[in-house]
Every structure is written in C-alpha cells, then in structure tokens.
Structure 1
Amino acid sequence: MITKLNQLSNVPAREAIIQLSVEAPALPLLSWLAAQQQFPKIYWHGRDRDEDVAAIGACKSFFFEDQVDDNELAKIYQQQRNKTSQQDIRYYGGLAFDRTVECWPEFGRAHFVLPRIELRRHGNKLRILVNLNFEDTDPQQEIQAALRAIAQVQKPKPLSPPHKMTLMGRSDLPHYERWEELVNQVTQEKFNQTTPKVVLSRHTQIDVSDDIDPWTVLACWQGRNPNSFQFGFQFSPERAFISCSPERLYLRRQQELFTEALAGTTVRGLNPEEDTLLAQALLDDIKNSHENQLVRKHIVDVLTPLSQYLGADEQPKIFKLNHIQHLHRSIRAQLQPGVSDFELLRALHPTPAVGGLPREAALNFIRQREGYARGWYAGACGYFNRNESEFSVAIRSALIEPRRINLFAGAGIVAGSDPLAEWQELENKLATVLAILIDF
C-alpha cells in the first residue's frame, strides 16, 4: 500500500476521491479494531453474508448536529458520488431515530464517514482499502496524511476476556408506573381509533465499577446472536454505540430492494417442543399478528409510488434469535429509475416497527411523553454505495460511556396490550446483553 501511495505522488490525480486496494491475510477484525487509537472506529457485519468490515479514521464526513435537511443531505452525497468512478467506495454511518430533536454528542442527527483505512473480510480473504480525498486539498498533503494513518496502525491483540464488574446501580426511564400510564393512554379506545400503534421504549442505565470495552461486548454479543446485523460506531474515546439488531431497514442492489416487516415477539422455549409451541402461539396471537400486518401494510403503501413492482409475504413466518422469536414478512421491490437511497430512507425510516402508525401522530406522542431522547437507538445504521446500500434498524443496541452502559428496548403498543406483559417483553429483549454484563 505504501508503494502505491508513493507512486500516486508522481501521477496527477484524475478524480477527487481515490481508493487504493491491496490483499492481505485474514485476521480477526474486532481484535484489530479494538487495538487502534485512531477515530472514528467503525464495524459492520451484515446479517445474511460472510463479510465483515472494520474501518478507522475519516477522509470525508457529513455531520449534522442540528436540523437535518434530507434534500441537502441527498445533494451532498450525490455530489460526492460524482467525484469518483470507483464502484467500491462506501460511506458508513447512521441517522437518529428522530431527526427533529437533539441527539447524542459526536453522533448528531446524521453522521456518515468515508473511512481513511478500511479492512473488508470475505471468508479467508482480506482487502485493505485506503481512501484519499483530493477535493480542496493539496494532493501531497493528503498522501502524507494517509501515510501517517498507516504508520499509526497497531497490530491486533486478543480481546480482553470479560472480567467481573460490580453493578453500581440501575435505573429505567420511564419507570414501571409511568410505563403503565403510557400503555393505558395508547390503548384507550378514543386514542387507539386515530393512532392504532405506538412503539414505546425504555432507556435502562447501568452503572458499573470499571470502564467497558465496547468491542469486547460486541464480540460476546455477536457470538450469542450470529443471525443478526452486528455493528458499532465510536467517534471518540468517550462514547461507542453498538448493536446486534435482527431488523433490516433495506438492502438495495442497483434498483432491486429487499426489506421486511419484523414485529410481534415471544420468548424461546427451553426445549425444541416448547419452542415450537411458543412459535405457533405467536403465529396464532391476534394482537401480534395485527401489529405485524400494520407494519407490512405501511411499508407496502410507502414503497408503491417508488416501485415498478412490489411483492410482500401474505403470511408471517418465525424469525428466531437467541432469547426471543419474532413474526417476519419479506417484502421485495423493483424501484423506479432514479429513486435514491435518501428517498428510501425518507419513506421507510422510522418504520412502524419502531415508531408507530400513523407515523407523525405516533412520533409526536413519543416526543412528548416517553421522557428521553432516543438518539441513534431505533435509528438507521449502515452504508451507502453506488451499486449496493444496506441499512439496519438499530434495535438491540447499547450506548457505552465511561463506567456506564445505556441499554434500549421497545414494544409495539396496540389495542389489547397489557402493560406488565409489554414490560416483560422489554426484559426479554435485553436478556442477551444483560447476560454478557452479568458474566463480567
């Protein structure tokens, strides 16, 4: 790679953004990422493919701390795309759940990064990518910046094994009494007639006796939930957002789109027979089936104007995770020519599975009553690429700060929802990551 950069010094850059690539022996990417001292640090592993990505540094970023204008963001991204003909360039990042309210420091309401150094592993093959941004930058200075970043790369070390930590305290926002009030408000007949679903969530703050390595937690979580999206964003040493989310927002390949309705939850059984009975009970449950159907209908309605063809599963299937199982319907579309990723994000995010229906009425209720800002929890995290883009809904997630881990979980509240049962569903959704913390 250093040779390629030195060669580039002698040739005028023909494009504003250049990506260099070399192959290398595969290595454990989370171990490599944990050893690095350059920020941001980014990790991405798709749900359905044998690829994971670790990236550090930034040669270009888009950061919106205040109000986000989707049209402006789309314009900026399109301008950047037009500055290179290379097909493999990806911008990684995310959008907050609610971009009209203040978000976490460093994360902002929208934050996307073209990494300086990126490692992509497919099976036993690894590619090292270095990105250079020559726009409004002296080419020699940009090459020297890339060389300095390479020189600062640390060798991977084994992740520190989880160690015992003392739990210093736990608080839930909203607490149970307030949760009960909110569920009862949403399920009132008059309210429910105009707003049939609101996804209420809870922020669980756990204080511990020592600092937490986010990449160790993510590696443990990854091992327990292999059939999920696994990703992490750390823009500074103070905060890291990690997630093992089962839910896809969308996958776009050229103009072909794949998305899903994931809503309706129950626990896993203690044995195969009990697991099967619980899954069938979930399929037969009127409340959960209604909730999933509401999500499916909304996605079909918002995608229809953007699509030449649209197909969606009529009946839900069971999607199994380590501690819980969900109702799931696949949705596929052939997009109209010219439909952009930002039109898809505007149409799909936030989904009824994390917000509610109608969208604006549910979001207004959440803003006014839930009692905390969700930040990137239930936001959209993933990457943009010219030919393929993929985003996950950031549920089953944690914001890690010094000596503190912030956990989030939500439940869809519809007619007939029981406050205590929904509260227990929140506990079930946190069970995997809480087990990791208890193992410390």
Structure 2
Amino acid sequence: MSVLSLSKAVISLSDRLSQLLDHPQQSGILQLVEEVTLPPLMSWLATQQHFPKIYWQGRDHREEVAAIGSCLDLRFTEAVDDAKLLQIYQQQRQCAHSADVRFYGGVAFDRRLASWPEFGRARFLVPRVELRRSETCGQLIVNLNLNEQTLAQQVSAAQTLLAELRPAQPLTPPQKTDVLSRTDMPDFPRWSQLVTQVTSEEFNRETPKVVLSRQTKLQVSDTPDPWTVLACWQGRNPTSFQFGFQFSAKHSFISCTPERLYRRQQDQLVTEALAGTTVRGLTPEEDEQLAQQLLDDHKNSHENQFVGTHIVSELTPLSARVNADEPLKVFKLNHIQHLHRVIKAHLRPEICDFQLLQSLHPTPAVGGFPKASALDYIAAHEGYNRGWYAGTCGFLSSELSEFAVAIRSALLEPGCINLFAGAGILTGSDPALEWQELENKLATIMSILVDF
C-alpha cells in the first residue's frame, strides 16, 4: 500500500467520506484511516485553528499523537460517582467498531472537588482528526460518531474540518517570559506550619505520609505559546511523558512528567512506584554518588516502599498475578533523579480501564497514605485547587491504554502561568529541605521560561 503525503491523504479521506453517503445509516464510532508521511506533529498542532487540541508522546517514544476537534466529548463538572462513570464508559466502548478508537483525556487529582473550568473533574473525548506516528508508520485518522448525529451530518462536519487543516509551520522561537510577579500558595511560613502538622507524632500515627504541594503563580506580560514551551521541555527531558490539552485558545495544560500510572496491553499491565528524590551531580562521579546515597537513604526508600505497597494492594483484587520483585533503581531527569520500581500484573479478564483508574489513582506518590485521610487533609489545608495537577492523563482503547501522572506540569492562562510541585512528607521531613525540593522540581521549566 502506497504512503501518501498528508495533503493527498486529506483529499483521499474526504472522497472516502463522500462515498459513505451511498451506504445505509450505521451506529457507533466509525473510523477511517490513511497511511501518510507526517510532518513534525507539535508544529502541525500549533498551526491548527480548531479546538480541542491534544498532544501525546509516551516515555518510551513508541508513539506520538496530535489530534484536533472532537466527535465525542464526555466532561464531568459535577460530582459523579464511580458507578456512573463506569456505566457511561461501558456504553461508549460498546459503540466503537474498531479496537483502535481511542478516548483521550484526564482525571483531576481529587474528583470529589470542583476542578478547573473547561477541564472538569474528568474529561475524555474521541478526536475528530488524529495524526499518529508509530515506529513503523504514520496515520491520518478521522472519527465519526454516528450515535449523536446522522451519517450525513457527521460526514459534513469531518469534511469541513479536513478542508480547514493548515500545513505545519515552524514553532515560534522560544523566548524568556517577562515575569511581573510571583506568588506561592502556600507560601513558606504556611508550608512550614503544614509540614510541622503532618510530621507531628499524633497526626503521623494515623496518616504516616501526606504529599503536600505548591502552586507557583507567575503573572506575565505575554503568555507564551504552550506548544513552544512543551517542545522546549521535551528537549530537556526526552525520557519523560509529554502531553498537552488545549480545550480553548485561553487555557492549556501541558506536562513533561516522568511518572507512569500504568500501561495496559490487553490483559498485561505495567506500573511503577516513583518516589524519593535527589538532585543531579555536576560530574558523572558526583551524579553516581548522589544516586547511591538516594538508594541508601532511609527516608526516601521508605517513601518509595509506601507507594509500592499501596499499588500492590490495589492491583491484587483486580489481577490473576502481581509481580513487584524487580529491584529498586534510579530514574534520571535533567535536574533531579528519583527512586523507581517496576510492578507488573496479569489482569482478570473482566477488568476495564476505569476500574484501574479508580483503584490506582491517586497513588501515595502524589496523595499520601492512607489515601482517604491524606486526601482529606490536602483538601482542607493546602489552600489551592490542584485541578488536573497530580491527576492522570492519557488515552484508553480496548487493546491498549496508557496513563501518566501529571506532575511536572503547567496551566497556562491569559497573563498567567501556573506551575506545580509536590513533596512527600513523612516523619523526619524538614520544611526548608522539602521547600528546596519543590524548587529543584521546578528548575527545568523555570529555566525555559525565565532568566535567573
């Protein structure tokens, strides 16, 4: 089969859409695919005028996706219990004629609480147009949702969007941002109070770990292009997940995060405990010395063990087998390095992705342990709305699903850049050292945005 240029593939798909009108009305989600030679996907995405815009690249670089528009958009802005969410998901999954139909989206850190405008407590959509690049091919994909409109209406909407696609253009050259002011929530005095509370003997007896976080709000004279920022971030930390959701021109959420929530291929699942942090060294020798100190450090290894134990306990009732015997290793990023342990499971056949999301997220790496009391403390005391920060973002389909934990992330709004960082607080945590850990975790994105 010949591989078309993107412009020729657009014409071919538009013709194929017209031919569908000669066939009887169908139901469900119908997907048309052309193999193509793809342009740089982030550049292509930045050029498009239609929203939503979605970008995804996995940590292992097996696949890269850019998508625009939607033919199905499920957004939950009010409280939705797990049973209702699962019911809606199962209904929509039954609509998909193809195993390759994907729902892209995310779940807020604490879906009990109100989240950011446009994002919701959870939001998943099937894009109208996708560009997917795998190790073996490039694809242009068009999705039609025949449950919500007639075939003729869906064909017309898809052809209109195809006709308005723009060719990729180079991204705007990166420039440092003029920061007018910076506000930290909580500020350091309040942070010190919270750390002292969480590490007190009385509190720690019932809740041994709470992950406290901070929102750093930068007021700026000109909001940078999110895709330029994400591309720069991607270049600094290529071994991380990179993704972005821009539901309108005003708000975008981007992330360059090291942490996988899980990857599921049919009934085989891989997840990880990523917790425990130190900085990188200035020389290879110093770097390895710091890595070994991290492996030997009781506080950090204890924190990682909390996360791993929780994941195993949550996976056990969903799985025929769970393997958490792989050795603890060090995962290196540009400015910092983490303790990292791989966990694998063979899932029971009736388990679906929303059950995995409900069970695994949020992990003790971003919430704490026990989960319920840690989340209650964060909601009552942290002082700001995490929204999708420390939530989970990714995609799901019947054959393959992958989700990352949205740490190392930024919410861009008109005149404002919101940055986020967290630290696991346990017995022995020092407020000043944990505050410095937050600064270390923001070092990469701050070096992209501002001059020091």
TM-score range, shorter chain: over 0.9
Residue 450 of structure 2 aligns to a residue whose secondary structure is: helix
Aligned equivalent of 2:107? 95
Shift of 1:13: 4.0
Aligned equivalent of 1:336? 348
Shift of 1:164: 3.7
Q: Give me the whole-angstrom Cα distance separating, in 2, the residues matched to 1:425 and 1:261.
A: 19
Q: Give me the whole-angstrom Cα distance separating, in 2, the residues matched to 1:128 and 1:8.
A: 18
Q: Give me the whole-angstrom Cα distance separating, in 2, the residues matched to 1:367 and 1:131.
A: 39
Q: Describe how 1:20-419 pairs up with structure 2 within 5 A.
A: 20-123=32-135, 125-313=137-325, 315-419=327-431
Shift of 1:151: 1.1
Paired amino acid for 2:316: T
Residue 236 of structure 1 aligns to a residue whose secondary structure is: coil
Could you list the per-position Cα deviations for residues 243-299 of structure 1 after superposition, in whole angstroms to 9, with x for gaps in the alignment?
A: 001000011111111100000000000010000000000001000000000111111
Q: Give me the whole-angstrom Cα distance separating, in 2, the residues matched to 1:20 and 1:107.
A: 28
Q: Give me the whole-angstrom Cα distance separating, in 2, the residues matched to 1:164 and 1:278.
A: 31
Tell me if structure 1 keeps the 8 A contact 2:220–2:416. Answer: yes
Shift of 1:25: 1.2
Residue 375 of structure 2 aligns to a residue whose secondary structure is: helix
Shift of 1:124: 7.1
Tell me if structure 2 keeps the 8 A contact 1:323–1:432. Answer: yes
Q: Give me the whole-angstrom Cα distance separating, in 2, the residues matched to 1:402 and 1:81.
A: 36
Q: Give me the whole-angstrom Cα distance separating, in 2, the residues matched to 1:255 and 1:358.
A: 28
Q: Give me the whole-angstrom Cα distance separating, in 2, the residues matched to 1:315 and 1:125.
A: 35
Q: Give me the whole-angstrom Cα distance separating, in 2, the residues matched to 1:281 and 1:110.
A: 39
**Scaled by the length of structure 1, what TM-score is found?**
0.98
Gaps of 5+ in 1: none
Residue 409 of structure 1 aligns to a residue whose secondary structure is: strand
Q: Give me the whole-angstrom Cα distance separating, in 2, the residues matched to 1:185 and 1:96.
A: 26
Q: Give me the whole-angstrom Cα distance separating, in 2, the residues matched to 1:439 and 1:51.
A: 33
Paired amino acid for 1:167: V
Shift of 1:10: 1.0
Shift of 1:165: 2.9
Aligned equivalent of 1:5? 17
Residue 170 of structure 2 aligns to a residue whose secondary structure is: coil
Paired amino acid for 2:427: A
Tell me if structure 1 keeps the 8 A contact 2:33–2:140. Answer: yes
Structure 1 segments (4+ residues) deviating >4 Å: none
Paired amino acid for 2:137: K
Q: Give me the whole-angstrom Cα distance separating, in 2, the residues matched to 1:211 and 1:394.
A: 21
Could you list the per-position Cα deviations for residues 20-61 of structure 1 after superposition, in whole angstroms to 9, with x for gaps in the alignment?
A: 001111210000000111010000001113310000000001
Shift of 1:78: 1.3
**Which stretch of structure 1 is more off in the superposition, 360-369 or 306-315?**
306-315
Q: Give me the whole-angstrom Cα distance separating, in 2, the residues matched to 1:105 and 1:386.
A: 29
Tell me if structure 2 keeps the 8 A contact 1:212–1:403. Answer: no
Q: Give me the whole-angstrom Cα distance separating, in 1, the residues matched to 2:412 and 2:390.
A: 16
Alignment: residue pair count:
440
Q: Give me the whole-angstrom Cα distance separating, in 2, the residues matched to 1:169 and 1:60.
A: 39
Tell me if structure 2 keeps the 8 A contact 1:201–1:409. Answer: yes
Residue 168 of structure 2 aligns to a residue whose secondary structure is: coil
**Which stretch of structure 1 is more off in the superposition, 274-283 or 308-317?**
308-317
Q: Give me the whole-angstrom Cα distance separating, in 2, the residues matched to 1:136 and 1:387.
A: 24
Shift of 1:309: 0.6
Q: Give me the whole-angstrom Cα distance separating, in 2, the residues matched to 1:386 and 1:49.
A: 21
Aligned equivalent of 1:420? 432
Tell me if structure 2 keeps the 8 A contact 1:34–1:215. Answer: yes
Residue 170 of structure 1 aligns to a residue whose secondary structure is: strand
Residue 247 of structure 2 aligns to a residue whose secondary structure is: strand
Could you list the per-position Cα deviations for residues 170-222 of structure 1 after superposition, in whole angstroms to 9, with x for gaps in the alignment?
A: 01000000000000101001111110000000000011121210000000000
Percent same amino acid among aligned pairs? 60
Paired amino acid for 2:335: H
Q: Give me the whole-angstrom Cα distance separating, in 2, the residues matched to 1:439 and 1:214.
A: 18
**Scaled by the length of structure 2, what TM-score is found?**
0.96
